[in-house]
C-alpha cells in the first residue's frame, strides 16, 4: 500500500478538500478560523499548506463565524457546507450556541475545535477545564448534546474512520446536523503514514429514501376519506428540493398549502393554493383552514410550537395527523401516521396511491380578506408628526424595494413573526428565517453566509437593535471581504417583542426596553455611527419614504449598507396569529398576572397533544 507522511491536521484538511457533492463541487466550501494555541500550529499550518484548494477566512467571533457557515448551508439546501475551527477553551465554547442552532435546524457544519493534549504532559494547559474525577472531560464535552456526531481525535489514525463518518452525517438527509471533531492539539501536529487512497476524490450523494409501501397505502387511505385536508409545508420541502412536486401534488388534488417559518417560499405567495403562513405568526386564512382540517399532512416539518399553536390550532375533533418526513423521529411525532421518506419521492408515491381523488379547495375569499388586512398594516400612511413608524411599515418599504430574487433574512425579535405574517415570498429560498433556535446574533453573520451561498441575489438582513448589540462584529468582515449585504436596523430601543410578551402575560414593563432597565444615563447608541466605524455605508432615515429611497440607493452601493430607522416598540400586527403557550405565574400579587393566568388556563383546554 502506498502511503504518504502527513501530520494528522494536514491529513484532515487534505481529506476534507477532496470530498465532493453530487455537482462535483467541494462539499466543504471553506474554513472559518480563529486561531489560538490549540489550533494555530496544527490545523493552522495545515490550512496554510492547502490554502489553494480550501480557502480560510478569518472572522471576529467563533459563534458568528459558525452562524455564517450554517446560513450558507441552509441557503444551499444542505448541498454544501463550511467548516469552522477554534482554539481549545473560550473559542471552542463560543461555538456551542452555533452548534445548538445547527442541531435544532438540522443543518450541516463541520466544527473543529482544538482540544487538550492527548499525551497530557503539560497539563493543565492554558484554557484547560479540569475535572477532578474524570480525566477524559474537556471544554469540548459541551458539544456532545448539540452535535449530531461528536468525536475526540486522540490518535491520528482515528481520522481514517472519523472523517468519513463526519461526511456521512452531514450528507445524510435524515441525520443531518453539526459534526464536532475535537482535535487534541498534540495529535494535530503528529505525523502518520496515511494510505494514499484515503485522499482520493469522493462524491457524497444525498439519498432520497423511498417510502414503505404499507405506510403509503395507510396514509393514502386516510387522505382519501378526508373532506378538508391541509398541507403544512416545512423546511424539508426546501432541503428535499420538492417545490415543484409540492405544487403539482397540491394542484392535482386541490389541497391548500400553509407554510411554516422554515417552509415559507415553498410555493409563491400568490399561488391560489398557498393559504399563507401557519400558526402563532400565521395568517387568518391559513389558520382558519387548519382549524377546520380533518387531515393535516405535514411535509418536512418538526411541528414546532409556533407551527401548531402549541397544539391548539388543529382543533377539528376528528382530525388525523400525517407526517411525511425523511426522519422517522419527526414522522411519528404527536401520534402522527408516519410516512417516512424524502419529500419529493414521498409525494409522488402518495399521488400514485391517491389516484383520481380530488378535494374541495377552501374559499379564496379567506386569502383576499387576509391580504387586505395585511396590506393595511404594511402600507399604512406615514405616521403623524412625533409618532414613529411601525416595523410592519418597514416591511412594506422593504417589500416594495425588493426584486423577485431578493432574499430577506432574519432570526430573532419582532421581525421573524411579522415577516412570517406579512412578507410576500416569490421564489424558493427568497425567505431565510432561522426560527428553530431563533438566535439573536445570527442575523449579520447569517446574511454573509446567504450572500456567499448565492452571490447573485440581493440579501436584506432585518435586524433589531437588540440583535445588533448582541453580535455585530462580522459587519467588519463583510466590509473586508466585500460581501454586499443590506441591513435594515429597526431601533425601538430595546427588546420590543419580549416587552410585548411581558405585557400580554400581565407583567409590568420591566428590563426589556432600555428605558425600563436599570440606568444612570439614558441609552443613546448611535447605530449609524457604529456601523460606519466598521466601514459600512450607513444611512439614518426618519420616514418610510426615506427608507424606501435609501433601499433603492443601497442596491447600487458597492459594499455593505446599513439603514437605521427608529420604530415604535408597541404595535404588532393584530390580524391573524393563534394562541401560543407561555406559562403564566400561578400565584402573583399583580391583578393583571392573575387575569392572564385565567386566560392561559382557559386556552389550555383547547390543547390536544396527540
Ligand X SMILES: Cc1ncc(C[n+]2csc(CCOP(=O)(O)OP(=O)(O)O)c2C)c(N)n1
| Residues contributing to the site for ligand X (CB under 6 A) | 412-414, 438-441, 464-467, 490, 492, 494-498
- The interface partner of residue 235, options being ligand X, Mg ion, none and the CB cut-off 5 to 8 Å by kind, is none
The rounded distance, in Å, linking the Cα atoms of 239 and 414 is 26
Whichever of 346 and 396 has its CB closer to ligand X, that residue is: 396
The rounded distance, in Å, linking the Cα atoms of 335 and 113 is 39
Whichever of 89 and 464 has its CB closer to Mg ion, that residue is: 464
- The interface partner of residue 170, options being ligand X, Mg ion, none and the CB cut-off 5 to 8 Å by kind, is none
Residues in contact with Mg ion by CB under 5 A are 464-466, 492, 496
Q: How far is the CB of 494 from Mg ion (least distance, A)?
A: 5
Q: How far is the CB of 53 from Mg ion (least distance, A)?
A: 43
Whichever of 186 and 465 has its CB closer to Mg ion, that residue is: 465
Task: Compute how many other C-beta atoms are within 10 angstroms of the C-beta atom of residue 22.
Answer: 12
The rounded distance, in Å, linking the Cα atoms of 256 and 334 is 22
Q: What are phi and psi of 538, to 5 degrees?
A: -130, 155
The rounded distance, in Å, linking the Cα atoms of 136 and 211 is 42
- The interface partner of residue 440, options being ligand X, Mg ion, none and the CB cut-off 5 to 8 Å by kind, is ligand X
DSSP class of 586: S
The rounded distance, in Å, linking the Cα atoms of 149 and 146 is 9
Q: Alpha helices, DSSP H only, in 355-453? A: 365-378, 391-401, 414-422, 443-453
The residue assigned the cell 472572522 is 59
Residue of closest CB approach to ligand X: 464
Q: How far is the CB of 503 from Mg ion (least distance, A)?
A: 15
The rounded distance, in Å, linking the Cα atoms of 485 and 499 is 29
Q: What is the CA radius of gyration of the chain?
A: 25
Our CA angle for 345, 351, 356, nearest 5°, is 165
Whichever of 171 and 492 has its CB closer to Mg ion, that residue is: 492
Residue 280's alpha-carbon distances to 313, 321, 349, 417, 597, in angstroms, are 9, 19, 32, 8, 19
Whichever of 63 and 86 has its CB closer to ligand X, that residue is: 63
Whichever of 491 and 548 has its CB closer to ligand X, that residue is: 491
Task: Compute how many other C-beta atoms are within 10 angstroms of the C-beta atom of residue 52.
Answer: 7
Q: How far is the CB of 567 from ligand X (least distance, A)?
A: 8
The rounded distance, in Å, linking the Cα atoms of 201 and 486 is 38
- The interface partner of residue 298, options being Mg ion, ligand X, none and the CB cut-off 5 to 8 Å by kind, is none
Judging by beta carbons within 10 Å of its beta carbon (0-12, 13-18, 19+), is residue 116 exposed, middle or buried?
A: buried
- The interface partner of residue 113, options being ligand X, Mg ion, none and the CB cut-off 5 to 8 Å by kind, is none
Q: Give residues with Cβ within 8 angstroms of 406, minimum separation 6.
A: 430, 457, 458, 459, 460
Q: How far is the CB of 435 from ligand X (least distance, A)?
A: 10
29: helix, strand or coil: strand
DSSP class of 471: S
- The interface partner of residue 459, options being Mg ion, ligand X, none and the CB cut-off 5 to 8 Å by kind, is none
Q: How far is the CB of 501 from ligand X (least distance, A)?
A: 9
- The interface partner of residue 114, options being Mg ion, ligand X, none and the CB cut-off 5 to 8 Å by kind, is none
Whichever of 108 and 571 has its CB closer to ligand X, that residue is: 571
In what order do the strands lie in the sheet containing 109-115?
56-57, 28-33, 81-86, 109-115, 178-184, 149-153
Q: How far is the CB of 508 from Mg ion (least distance, A)?
A: 19
Q: How far is the CB of 565 from Mg ion (least distance, A)?
A: 12
Q: How far is the CB of 408 from ligand X (least distance, A)?
A: 15
- The interface partner of residue 498, options being ligand X, Mg ion, none and the CB cut-off 5 to 8 Å by kind, is ligand X
Whichever of 279 and 346 has its CB closer to ligand X, that residue is: 279
Q: How far is the CB of 414 from ligand X (least distance, A)?
A: 3
Whichever of 126 and 529 has its CB closer to Mg ion, that residue is: 529
- The interface partner of residue 61, options being ligand X, Mg ion, none and the CB cut-off 5 to 8 Å by kind, is none
- The interface partner of residue 439, options being ligand X, Mg ion, none and the CB cut-off 5 to 8 Å by kind, is ligand X
Amino acid at each position: 500500500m502506498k502511503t504518504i507522511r502527513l501530520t494528522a491536521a494536514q491529513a484532515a484538511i487534505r481529506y476534507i478538500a477532496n470530498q465532493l457533492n453530487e455537482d462535483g463541487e467541494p462539499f466543504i466550501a471553506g474554513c472559518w478560523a480563529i486561531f489560538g494555541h490549540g489550533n494555530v500550529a496544527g490545523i493552522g499550518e495545515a490550512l496554510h499548506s492547502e490554502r489553494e484548494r480550501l480557502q480560510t477566512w478569518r472572522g471576529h467571533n467563533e459563534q458568528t463565524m459558525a452562524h455564517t457557515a450554517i446560513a450558507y448551508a441552509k441557503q444551499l439546501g444542505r448541498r454544501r457546507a463550511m467548516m469552522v475551527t477554534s482554539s481549545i477553551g473560550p473559542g471552542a465554547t463560543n461555538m456551542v450556541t452555533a452548534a445548538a442552532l445547527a442541531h435544532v435546524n438540522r443543518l450541516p457544519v463541520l466544527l473543529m475545535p482544538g482540544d487538550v493534549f492527548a499525551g497530557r504532559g503539560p497539563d493543565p494547559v492554558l484554557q484547560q477545564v479540569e475535572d477532578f474525577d474524570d480525566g477524559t472531560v474537556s471544554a469540548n464535552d459541551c458539544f456532545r448534546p448539540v452535535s449530531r456526531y461528536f468525536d475526540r481525535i486522540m490518535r491520528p489514525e482515528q481520522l481514517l474512520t472519523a472523517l468519513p463518518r463526519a461526511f456521512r452525517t452531514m450528507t445524510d438527509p435524515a441525520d443531518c446536523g453539526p459534526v464536532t471533531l475535537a482535535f487534541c492539539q498534540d495529535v494535530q501536529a503528529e505525523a502518520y503514514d496515511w494510505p494514499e487512497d484515503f485522499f482520493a476524490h469522493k462524491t457524497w450523494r444525498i439519498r432520497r429514501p423511498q417510502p414503505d409501501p404499507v405506510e403509503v397505502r395507510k396514509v393514502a387511505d386516510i387522505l382519501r376519506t378526508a373532506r378538508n385536508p391541509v398541507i403544512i409545508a416545512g423546511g424539508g420541502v426546501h432541503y428535499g428540493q420538492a417545490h415543484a412536486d409540492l405544487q403539482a401534488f397540491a394542484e392535482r388534488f386541490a389541497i391548500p398549502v400553509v407554510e411554516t417559518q422554515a417552509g415559507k417560499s415553498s410555493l409563491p405567495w400568490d399561488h391560489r393554493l398557498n393559504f399563507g403562513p401557519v400558526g402563532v405568526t400565521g395568517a387568518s386564512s391559513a389558520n382558519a383552514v387548519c382549524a377546520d382540517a380533518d387531515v393535516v399532512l405535514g411535509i418536512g416539518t418538526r411541528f414546532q410550537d409556533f407551527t401548531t399553536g402549541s397544539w391548539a390550532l388543529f382543533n377539528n375533533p376528528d382530525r388525523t395527523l400525517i407526517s411525511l418526513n425523511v426522519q422517522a423521529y419527526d414522522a411519528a411525532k404527536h401520534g402522527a401516521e408516519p410516512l417516512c421518506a424524502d419529500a419529493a419521492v414521498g409525494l409522488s408515491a402518495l399521488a400514485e396511491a391517491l389516484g383520481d381523488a380530488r378535494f374541495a379547495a377552501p374559499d379564496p375569499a379567506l386569502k383576499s380578506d387576509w391580504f387586505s388586512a395585511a396590506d393595511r398594516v404594511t402600507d399604512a400612511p406615514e405616521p403623524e408628526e412625533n409618532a414613529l413608524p411601525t416595523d410592519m411599515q418597514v416591511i412594506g418599504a422593504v417589500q416594495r424595494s425588493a426584486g423577485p430574487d431578493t432574499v430577506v433574512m432574519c432570526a430573532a425579535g419582532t421581525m421573524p413573526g411579522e415577516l412570517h405574517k406579512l412578507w410576500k415570498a416569490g421564489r424558493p429560498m427568497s425567505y431565510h428565517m432561522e426560527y428553530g433556535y431563533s438566535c439573536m446574533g445570527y442575523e449579520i453573520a447569517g446574511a454573509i453566509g446567504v450572500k456567499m451561498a448565492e452571490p447573485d441575489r440581493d440579501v436584506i438582513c432585518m435586524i433589531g437593535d437588540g440583535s445588533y448589540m448582541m453580535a455585530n462584529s462580522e459587519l467588519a468582515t463583510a466590509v473586508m471581504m466585500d460581501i454586499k449585504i443590506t441591513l435594515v436596523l429597526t431601533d425601538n430601543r430595546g427588546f420590543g417583542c419580549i416587552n410585548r410578551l411581558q405585557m400580554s402575560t400581565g407583567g409590568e414593563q420591566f428590563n426589556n426596553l432600555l428605558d425600563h432597565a436599570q440606568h444612570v444615563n439614558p441609552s443613546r447608541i448611535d447605530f449609524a455611527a457604529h456601523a460606519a466605524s466598521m466601514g459600512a455605508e450607513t444611512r439614518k432615515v426618519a420616514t418610510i419614504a426615506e427608507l424606501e429611497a435609501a433601499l433603492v440607493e443601497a442596491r447600487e452601493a458597492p459594499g455593505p449598507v446599513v439603514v437605521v430607522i427608529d420604530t415604535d416598540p408597541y404595535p404588532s400586527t393584530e390580524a391573524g396569529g393563534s394562541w401560543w403557550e407561555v406559562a403564566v405565574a400561578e400565584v402573583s400579587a399583580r391583578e393583571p398576572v392573575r387575569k392572564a393566568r385565567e386566560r392561559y388556563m382557559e386556552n389550555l383546554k383547547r390543547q390536544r397533544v396527540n
